[in-house]
Structure 1
Amino acid sequence: MINTTRVVITGLGALSSLGNDVNSNWQNAKEGKSGAAALSYFDTEKFKTRFGCELKNWDPTLKLDRNDIKRSDLYTQYGLYVAAEAMEDAGLDVSQLASPFDGGVIWGTSQGGMGTFEKEMKEFVGNDLTPRFNPFFIPKYLVNMASGVISMKYGFMGINYTPVTACASSNSAIMDAFNYIKWGKAKVIITGGSDAPITEAAMGGFNALKALSTRNENPMIASRPFDVERDGFVMGEGAAALILEEYEHAKKRGAKIYGEVVGAAMTADAYHLTATHPQGEGAYMCMKFALQEAGLSIQEVDYLNAHATSTPTGDLSEIKAISRLLEGTHDNMHISATKSMTGHLLGAAGAIEAIFCVKAINDGIIPPTINTENLDPAIPEGIQIVTKHALEKKVKVALSNTFGFGGHNASVIFKEFV
């Protein structure tokens, strides 16, 4: 029997270096602004990369109480913050559910409480008198804690867990939320992801992998997906949340609807610890499976938000996968890489990029890929990458890609609600 359950989007929340809410993120993305700047969280003198995309003027007390802040790592605080915006936007609370078990949370992250772990270990090793750990050490650094705390905040007692697929984590979370609602296991799920990876350990570790850009002299132009001179990604931080809801439930309560999720898929490259498959085999099949579930062809996709992190090999493998799907027909679909502005939010990347896909559908605007001056000559002719300035275009269908270390691929398809 064909499952006709529709899964719609009724609330949005966003936090990145471009802004502390959905509207400011979207406005700055449309204008092609960069969130990159010199790092301020720690002394970067000994680091090869000394910049990133930190949050700006973020005040957690606007949405979080003192205990939320005291007991939570930054990645959980970010998650709580965007969940609050999304729930307010959706006009939703647990009293609108027939049962609290109809509401769930599926929340992605890559590193969880990396900052807490780093801080506590430094203090333990550096204390010669009586080495001790903070009593909140364990709950603060656990990767599932944001999901748990969000559910506690809103009284959602249904499905609750955290998929961890590196930089594909929040797309994995969105896919799982979509599926659980389709299967009748929930009516509403708060989904998305958060990461706070601008720490000494993360920056040093990614530098050791030679994955980060080292354009310290001009951070704002460092992230340049598809450009022939790209030299690595720019670390970002933040979070984004989407309220996914079963359509009849949303209709009954008179919710506004931003769009719907119509397809999603995950695959594995089964190739390398950190590198993507050189021919994009896993990415190709991931997009293909998602399109098949949505009942769409790639020619019906108006906008593709590429994973494109600005690494020499990763960008090209994704383009190869996209080109193979297009089979020479490039007329309709436009591509952009918003990491050129937000930096790479790791496990939260798919969530913030989902917001941009949904807003592109609602506003008819495709945000640009900034800093891309000279396209890599290996990119096939006809591939339409939006560079420098936003493109006004009717967007009915948007596809978002995320790929993670370990060979994890996740694609989600969003569609105009009609």
Structure 2
Amino acid sequence: MLVFEYKAYGKSSQFSAVDEAIRTVQFIRNKAIRLWIDGGAKSCYDLNKYCAVLAREFPFANQLNSMARQAAAERAWASIQRFYDNCKAKISGKKGFPKFQKDNRSVEYKTSGWALSDDRKSITFTDKKGIGRLKLKGTRDLNFYQPDQIKRVRLVKRADGYYVQFCISADRRETLPATGNTIGLDVGLKSFYTDSNGLELENPRLYRTGEVKMKRAQRLVSRKVKGSKNRIKSRIKLGRIHLKISRQRKDHAVKLARCVIRSNDLVAYEDLRVRNMVKNHCLAKSISDAGWYQFRLWLETFGRIFGRVTVAVNPAYTSQECSSCGTVVKKSLSTRTHACQCGCELGRDHNAALNILTKAIGTTGHVGTSVLDAVNAFGDIPSTCVGANLRGQGASLKEESHDFQVTLA
């Protein structure tokens, strides 16, 4: 599934209609959650039928496209299903009980309620909300895809304007020649990562860099009267600062992951539990600022696209074991040099990267065309193969919908 995003241009009255559609989606989702809490819904099908009841009862809900109402109910059921899955998996701590939404920012249409222009440069929403025709501006060309390949259209509100996302049913695969290179990555805070070749990449610390402007914008928001227009303007300015940092972090992760995947046949990395690591209040901000999990997601995404092998390795004792002889050399976090009795003396992170690569190769065996065939050309080996899984990890990316995975950079 590919997701193309375009900036939307229109009149202020049209964007007011978009805001009304977004509020209607939030209303339907919260009503669906209430129905489930009261015991009136046992499946997603029950919530879809309830959408028709809400449309008959509330005129503003009837103005929204019927499939958009169903998409709102599906969002509610996705949160319910995630709660059930967490309970079945017996995840420690909170299980994510569904909550009522108060700041929805998107509305999602399926295959009806919209129509693309012939030149693919504008889109018209045909429901009764009165959104009308919006101009599109972006770098991706929709002419390569048939209209029936567009499965969903999403209107997203952000701090710097409104965007239209097209979810296209297409599989992206690219073939690259084998490089014969393998690499292990050890992420950190001092440097973003240290690879098995000893190369250290600088940590950009994007949140720390923009923190001065952010704190000033936050003070300006707190000084304004609640509900005033000046406070709304101040909030928009603050939101734009956060949005810029988020985009910078994503851009860094995408470009770096693409470069690493294209340069190596096998990429090994740590299967870190970011959700547990940010519980340390002394390091939580720095860990979140690094964006390790987002980088990992893009590594796995590009691994599938380019047919490379990606392996998540259990990080236990990778910093303590000697990469030369395997002896455990205990060291604290402040000790940045690994020195073993066998004469091996390396940087702590370099030693860990070598151990990560060794474990990955021990899992996959000889890296070559046979391994690429063994993973069915999907390019990644699940971390369950090396003693861990992805459940319970905290993601850096906030996805607008559970149904789609962005696989295009």
Does TM, normalized by the shorter one, top 0.5? no
TM-score (norm 2): 0.24
Larger Rg: 1 or 2? Answer: 2
